[in-house]
Structure 1
Amino acid sequence: MKLMTVGGGCFWCIEAILNEVKGVEKVVSGYSGGTVPGKPTYREVCSGLTGCAEVVQVTYDSDIISYEDLLVIFMTSHDPTSLNRQGGDAGTQYRSVIYYHNETQNEIAETVAKEMAPYYENPIVTEISPLQIFYEAENDHQDYYANNPDAGYCSAVITPKLTKLRKMHADKLKSISA
């Protein structure tokens, strides 16, 4: 099993998307990239003052899904050209970011970003940085979409992203849902 840590707006969205991918064993919502001491809380991260981004840490089987394929799914599941914003979520805590765990991941992330750039009208602004520390988010943020599919944010924001995922990457998903 290998690890990937990425952020692309609200962690609830990225968690729901990556949970559908074949080879993904676990997705944990959390925070990374901050500069304040101690484990940050959701409220502190939402303030934008911690420097942390909302991220997910993915445990995956590299014999089933490659890091490169996971990054392509990630990059097409949010807007990597939007600086510190995804839809209505604004602030550095919602930045597009890939936190690599080793130099090989760094090289793959840089390559994927360059290869995907021509598909976007605007430049990709996804931060690619080494993972320093990952803090797991509070329990009520884990499996948020699975536990709250009818919540307003889930219906309005996450469900359309899942529909797009299922159209673009059906061959890489655990099961195809409508």
Structure 2
Amino acid sequence: MDQNIEMATLAGGCFWCTEAIFLDLKGVKTVVSGYIGGKTPNPTYKEICTGTTGHAEAIQITYDPKEISYGELLEIYFATHDPTTLNRQGNDVGTQYRSEIFYHSKKQKEIANDYIDLLVQEKIFNSPIVTKLSPAVTFYPAEDYHQNYYNQNKTQSYCHYVITPKIEKLKKYYKAKLKN
């Protein structure tokens, strides 16, 4: 990997939602939807949907820290999902929809811890933050049809009603961070 490129792995509910948000950010090179944090090697979507493999739906982001920092990625991550609901995002319920940051270095862990502490101190959320911090383990890319899902399925009802409002929020509050 290019020495100027870093990796972030974030679970924030449905990976279709998180992928769509991070794909359009300046400095983000790739976003891959997949599974992390479970016990089954090479899990399938059907397997993780049972909630028995222990995996989270997550995205793995490669980014240029000269263009967007890890802290900025976390800011957008916390602004575009609910870190206060255990094992759920909206109507998506199960351990696979948990809020979890999988850090790739001690520095990432410290930045994430500090950011969560700041959110708590500033009382940004009305309920306790349940986002877990865990060391990054093997990430399994999801099946091809999950990659770039939103951009290929914008008219599907889930995309229209769940993802499009998140994209609109991103455009409203983070316009300067978006690719042209």
TM-score by length of 2: 0.95
Deviation per residue, 1:82-104 (Å, 9 max, x gap): 11000000000000010000100
Which structure 2 residue ranges, 5 or more long, are not aligned? Answer: none
Which structure 1 residue ranges, 5 or more long, are not aligned? Answer: none
| Corresponding position of 1:83 | 86
Structure 1 residue 169 displacement after superposition: 1.2
**Over the residues paired in the alignment, what is the CA RMSD in angstroms?**
0.7
Deviation per residue, 1:112-161 (Å, 9 max, x gap): 11112211000110011001110000000000001111111100100000
| Corresponding position of 1:21 | 25
Output the CA distance in 2 between the equivalents of 1:21 and 1:113: 22
Amino acid at match of 2:148: D
Structure 1 residue 173 displacement after superposition: 1.1
Structure 1 residue 66 displacement after superposition: 0.1
Structure 1 residue 21 displacement after superposition: 0.8
Structure 1 residue 167 displacement after superposition: 1.2
| Corresponding position of 1:122 | 127
How many matched pairs? 174
Output the CA distance in 1 between the equivalents of 2:15 and 2:47: 15
Q: Find 1:59's aligned residue among 48, 62, 66.
A: 62
Amino acid at match of 1:109: A
SS at structure 2 position matched to 1:161: helix
Output the CA distance in 1 between the equivalents of 2:138 and 2:109: 16
Runs of 4+ in 1 over 3 A off after TM superposition: none
The share of aligned pairs that are identical, in percent, is 52
Output the CA distance in 1 between the equivalents of 2:70 and 2:17: 19
| Corresponding position of 1:167 | 172
